[in-house]
Amino acid sequence: MVRILVRIESRHADNSPCTHSVKPSGKPRDPNSGCPGRTAFAVVCSEHGDVGNLHHVKAAAEPAARDHRDEHRTALAVR
Ligand SMILES: [Zn+2]
Ligand SMILES: [Zn+2]
**Could you tell me if 6 and 65 are in contact, meaning their C-beta atoms sit under 8 angstroms apart?**
yes
pLDDT greater than 70 at residue 78: no
Q: Which residues form the domain of 24?
A: 6-78
- Could you tell me if residue 1 is inside a domain? no
Residue scoring higher pLDDT (78 or 70): 70
- Could you tell me if residue 44 is inside a domain? yes
pLDDT tens digits, 23-53: 989 999 999 999 999 999 999 999 999 999 9
> What pLDDT score does 3 carry?
84
pLDDT greater than 90 at residue 77: no
> What pLDDT score does 79 carry?
56
- Could you tell me if residue 37 is inside a domain? yes
Rounded to the nearest angstrom, the distance between the alpha carbon of 24 and the centre of ligand 1 is 13
- Could you tell me if residue 68 is inside a domain? yes
Q: How many domains does the chain have?
A: 1
Question: What's the per-residue H, E or C state across 41-65?
Answer: EEEEECCCEEEEEEECCHHHHHHHH
Rounded to the nearest angstrom, the distance between the alpha carbon of 78 and the centre of ligand 2 is 16
d(CA 35, CA 19): 9
Query: pTM to 2 decimals?
Result: 0.86
Rounded to the nearest angstrom, the distance between the alpha carbon of 2 and the centre of ligand 1 is 30
